[in-house]
Amino acid sequence: MNQKVPVPLNGRALDKIRQWTWPGNVRELENVIERAVLLSQGDEISTDSILIEEDKNISQSSSFTLNAGLTIAEMERLLIFKTLDQTAQNRTKAAKLLGISIRTLRNKLHEYQEVNCG
């Protein structure tokens, strides 16, 4: 789907996935893994790319914690993925919430795939 070479989950990332209660369905797991693949950098998926608890917190609150050391581009990417999660992957709604056009959102998602494929 994203044309990225498959990479394994490292041990801690796998533990994080196994420890989550998965209140949603299989689609929730699929979305977490898909997002982790896009967010991952390097030859394995780390816990930094497995966004589970943070996603639940943002759906309950309009704010979320920013981690020091993230670049503006990384924060933008996280915000886009979290907004997509909040809108059940509805790109039109996500774009509206983000204050960008649907075309800009599609371009950003395509850009994230290219970065992770190359």
pLDDT at 57: 42
pLDDT at 66: 64
Q: Specify the pTM.
A: 0.50
pLDDT at 19: 84
Give 9's strand partners: 45
Q: For residue 47, what are its two tokens? A: 């816990």
pLDDT at 102: 93
Q: How many CA atoms lie within 13 A of 59 on its CB side?
A: 13
Provide block-wise average pLDDT over 10 residues at a time, the chain (118 residues).
75 87 76 82 85 52 62 87 86 89 93 74
